[in-house]
Structure 1
Amino acid sequence: MEIELKLELDPADSHKLRRHPLIAKLAAGRAQRETQTSIYFDTPDYFLLTHNAGVRVRQTGHRWVQTLKAGGGVTGGLHVRNEWETPVSGPALELRKLAALAEPGSLLHQPATMQRLAALQPVFTVTVQRTTWNLRDGENLIELVLDEGSIRREGTTLPVNEIELELKAGEPGSLYLLALRLLNHVPLRLSNASKAQRGYALCGQVKSGPYRASPLSYGPAPNIETGLREIVLNCLAHIQANEAGVLEGNDAECLHQMRVGVRRLRSALQLFQALAPCPDELRDEIRWLGGKLGAARDWDVLVSTTLGRIGDAGAEYLPAISEVAAAVAREKRAEAGAALRSPRYSCAMMRMFAWATDAQWREGMLPAEAGMLDTPLEAFAQAAIGHSRKQVLKRGKNIRKASAPKLHELRIAAKRNRYAVEFFSSLYRPRRLRRYLDALVALQDELGRRNDLATGCSLLGQLEIWKPEIAAAAGFVRGCLEAEASGRRRKLRNAWKRFCAAGLPRLSSD
């Protein structure tokens, strides 16, 4: 099993890494330098990619090695995969040796698979200058690799400038801690994309998003600590999956999903705060990230959705408003992208992954407090969801007369209740859960529409100040949005009644 953390850095910063005082302190011996050329293979219909596997032949000096990778996954730049290697005589694959690498009964031992693999052909080539240091950090032995080079396919080239921290002995969390110490001198970014994935992107086989959150499951008899770790890592994976799409700057849905990931993470930390508190300064960094994404998302919604609700009465004003609002939206998306490229974002994500991977919440806990983390997750889930539902019912008690700020509080409570239910959905009987979630989502959607209208009014108010030449048009459109919000009271009451009638579902073991 290969466990490695991948990080990207700007080519101009490679010299800073080589001179990093921490490497000089921890290195066991001199750095090793070599040129590597790796040829990646797949079938014309990308059979290996479809089955989460990869095959390459790598040349290092006069040696050729054939490698099979399969299974595993990537979270927070931490790549965990099964890997098998065998020497070969040259750049061509040797299928018999390849089959011998895999375990009996695996996909590679099936006759139909071997027939498919007969069609393997080169799909892209990676050439790098590799510098390797072996580092000893306490009980942890880590191989640090700097790769500088390119990925090539049919005349198209992608640059490669990345670090790999491979765990040879010790704890996986030590990789993040080492990366954080390197970050003090060198700007680094977590990378979920392997060289193979980037090569497949050149082949047009990898998309940049948007990605929704993956379903959560906990295995048999999970305890609270298992739930906390899995939920936090799931939220972080949701955030990172949409990072590339946000950096590209043109996909509003990637931005939306990344913001949802941040909100899910903040809700998760709040959910477990009493038992496993996350440091305030780290929660502040997640809040900062949410603010950067939220500002861009608000303008995107105004342009793509809210202004489209204006009827014929305001049609003559929309072109001028839309043009200015779209320009602001582009500016805010650029600011969000700049935040994701910043060392502050990299540091926050590395610290968050280290906190979850190393169970840092146990630091300073008394034995009785640590023992609470061994409580069955189902008991905690039932109490947590019940409490969050009560918060929704409390804030919606006088919904007919609720002011805009009160409805905002209700929306936040409904969102937290939904996230809690979704976090623990695998513990529920699906049919009962569906009825409750449908009612909760309908309520949240209606509250969300009202919030979009209120936010739109606020943004238009800003435009009136920033752009006096369109102040009259912005004021008229704002009035239209306020009128629509007033007209949605009945729909909100109906959604509220439906939610109240949907009883809290029972857990699977009840």
Structure 2
Amino acid sequence: MEIEMKYGIEDKETAASIWDDEYLLSIEESDTREKILMKAAYFDTEDFILSKNDIALRVRKEGARTVATLKWKGKNEGGLHIREEINVPVDDENYFLLPDPQIFKESEIGQEVIALLGFKKLHSIMETNFVRNRFRIDNGSGIMEVSLDDGEIVTPKGTAPICELEVELFSGEQEALEDVTKTIAEKYGLEPETKSKYARGLAILGFDR
């Protein structure tokens, strides 16, 4: 399960200030800062059968590695995003162009996806391209990853900018996540981002769930 808070950031200056924030620095885990180029493609059928069932199939290049992901059963409340998630490392470079859902066949959701798709073909419906600056923090009640994303969502019908803060809970209580993000949001006047990158892309395509 993925549990994270998302906030929109209005400008690069604010993002830079958050990156250097004294409070976050005080609870940062040492040697965890890194900058990664993220390039992701999201796949569905012509009739959006996966999206209609609240399922996202993503293949993402994260620096030197490629990961295939299924996300489902999403819930968003005031910037808090909770979803079930499965990640599978991929060695084949061609998987980014044409994924095979059989890679998820060992899971219950994978079997559901395979059944939903039947003989329907998958194709890329959107991409996200962004730079992620991230590091881990530990406030004593939870271990989290702070990510600052800067890039864009690209669809056949248009694009949208990505400039956002994500804080994902790795272990500990959800309250720890809420405490940290509330402090940062209030300090920098951040507004909750209620839609995922995928949902924002679907809205551009005219499929607003």
Tell me the TM-score normalized by structure 2: 0.90
Distance across 1 between alignment mates of 2:156 and 2:74: 30
1:29 equivalent in alignment to 2:30: yes
Distance across 2 between alignment mates of 1:43 and 1:180: 39
- The answer (yes or no) to whether the contact 2:38–2:132 under 8 Å persists in 1 is yes
Aligned partner of 1:54 in structure 2 is: 56
Aligned partner of 1:115 in structure 2 is: 118
Aligned partner of 1:202 in structure 2 is: 204
1:11 equivalent in alignment to 2:11: yes
Gaps of 5+ in 2: none
Distance across 2 between alignment mates of 1:105 and 1:168: 23
Cα deviation for residue 183 of structure 1 reads 2.7
Distance across 1 between alignment mates of 2:160 and 2:200: 8
Aligned length: 203
Candidates 134, 137, 140, aligned match of 1:135: 137
| AA at the equivalent of 1:123 | I
Q: What does residue range 109-258 of structure 1 map to in structure 2 within 5 Å?
A: 110=115, 113-116=116-119, 118-154=120-156, 156-206=158-208
Q: What does residue range 430-509 of structure 1 map to in structure 2 within 5 Å?
A: none
RMSD: 1.8
Cα deviation for residue 202 of structure 1 reads 1.2
Distance 1:21 1:105, change over 3 A: closer
| AA at the equivalent of 1:64 | T
Distance 1:27 1:151, change over 3 A: same
Candidates 95, 99, 108, aligned match of 2:105: 99
Cα deviation for residue 27 of structure 1 reads 0.7
- The answer (yes or no) to whether the contact 2:128–2:152 under 8 Å persists in 1 is yes
Distance across 2 between alignment mates of 1:157 and 1:121: 18
Distance across 2 between alignment mates of 1:4 and 1:38: 19
- The answer (yes or no) to whether the contact 1:41–1:120 under 8 Å persists in 2 is yes
Tell me the TM-score normalized by structure 1: 0.38
Aligned partner of 2:21 in structure 1 is: 20
SS, match of residue 49 in structure 1: helix
Cα deviation for residue 104 of structure 1 reads 7.3
Indicate the structure with greater strand content. Answer: 2
Q: What does residue range 364-375 of structure 1 map to in structure 2 within 5 Å?
A: none
SS, match of residue 82 in structure 2: strand
- The answer (yes or no) to whether the contact 1:2–1:83 under 8 Å persists in 2 is yes
SS, match of residue 185 in structure 1: helix
| AA at the equivalent of 1:144 | V
Question: Per-residue displacement from partner, 1:328-367 (whole Å, max 9, x unpaired)?
Answer: xxxxxxxxxxxxxxxxxxxxxxxxxxxxxxxxxxxxxxxx
Distance across 2 between alignment mates of 1:66 and 1:183: 31
Indicate the structure with greater helix content. Answer: 1
Q: Following TM superposition, where does structure 1 have runs of at least 4 consecutive aligned residues deviating by more than 6 angstroms?
A: none
- The answer (yes or no) to whether the contact 2:102–2:110 under 8 Å persists in 1 is no
Percent of pairs with identical residues: 27
Cα deviation for residue 35 of structure 1 reads 0.3
SS, match of residue 108 in structure 2: coil
Cα deviation for residue 66 of structure 1 reads 0.6
Distance 1:162 1:104, change over 3 A: closer
Cα deviation for residue 87 of structure 1 reads 1.8
Distance 1:104 1:163, change over 3 A: closer
Distance across 2 between alignment mates of 1:183 and 1:104: 35
Cα deviation for residue 155 of structure 1 reads 6.5
Cα deviation for residue 164 of structure 1 reads 1.1
- The answer (yes or no) to whether the contact 1:16–1:185 under 8 Å persists in 2 is no
Aligned partner of 1:481 in structure 2 is: none
